[in-house]
Structure 1
Amino acid sequence: MSRSKPSGVKRRLARALKENSAVPAWVILKTNGKFRFNPKKRNWRRNDLKV
């Protein structure tokens, strides 16, 4: 990947990076395990971003 990216691409990559996190433990406890998994979880090798 190139070092210098357009700002739009950089913004979308940053958003994808933030989305790619697990659900916090306190959220799982607060919702009694109803929200346990993040459906937007993504692996960098398996899934490709449409940036």
Structure 2
Amino acid sequence: MGIGWILLIVALVVGLIAGNLLLLRNTKKMRTPPDFTPRKYDDDDDEWK
């Protein structure tokens, strides 16, 4: 296996990790509106087990 392939794989892995970190940082900055309430699901009444 050539050194070029190893460098390509390392560059792709580093790019993937950096992209995920940037995405996590940007989603942390997103704020929910003050009147936002999460949906409530009726899991207790669910007959499907």
TM range (shorter): 0.3 to 0.5
What TM-score do you get using the length of structure 1 for normalisation? 0.36
Higher relative contact order, chain-length normalized (CA < 8 Å, sep 6+) = 1
What TM-score do you get using the length of structure 2 for normalisation? 0.37
Higher helix share: 2
Q: Give 1 or 2 for the bigger CA radius of gyration.
A: 2
